[in-house]
Amino acid sequence: MDTGRIGNQQRLLAALADKALSSEVLTDLPALMRLLDAVTRSLTTSMSTTDLAGLARSLRDVRTGDVTFLTIPTLPDPRDPDNTLVWADDAATVWANLARDAPALTGTAQDPQTRDEPGTSATSRPTGPAGSSGTARPSHGSTKKAGREAFTLDDETASC
């Protein structure tokens, strides 16, 4: 199982989202169209660039603390524990919450210390100043484990 790259992929997407939100790309139509042009050269989508621009512009009031990255909770598959993961019971809660437009993490397991395998502790809630306001940066030392814990753009996931 190559679950280690999940955190790196989440950090990359978080950096892109943070850049788009912080540099006001979503409110600058020419900059947004340049970004979408670059993206659509790398991806195949059924949406037109105009549709994507409309979707992106609808996100212009989203704050960094409102964007959460998480990994669906998984467990080793009892039939093939070394090579396969299956969704944990908490995964059903995440999907049900998303389907009813509720916070994905409401009502799921909250103790990442007891489940520290890649992809399994993603049900922990983002904590600290990122809360619902999304305006404050976390204090030093509040680093989240991308790919293992849910995090917002206001959380630190690595330091150089």
Structure tokens at 7: 């955190």
> Which candidate, 105, 154, 146, places its Cα nearest to that of 125?
105
Backbone angle region of 109, left / alpha / beta, with phi > 0 → left and psi within -120 to 50 → alpha: beta
128-137 tens-digit pLDDT: 333 333 333 3
Q: CA–CA separation, 126 vs 157, rounded Å? A: 12
- pTM, rounded to two decimals: 0.62
Mean pLDDT of 69-75: 90
Q: What amino acid occupies position 52?
A: L
Q: What phi and psi values does residue 75 have, to the nearest 5 degrees?
A: -135, 155
31-57 tens-digit pLDDT: 888 888 887 888 788 888 888 888 888
Q: Tell me the CB-side half-sphere exposure of residue 18, using CA atoms within 13 A.
A: 19
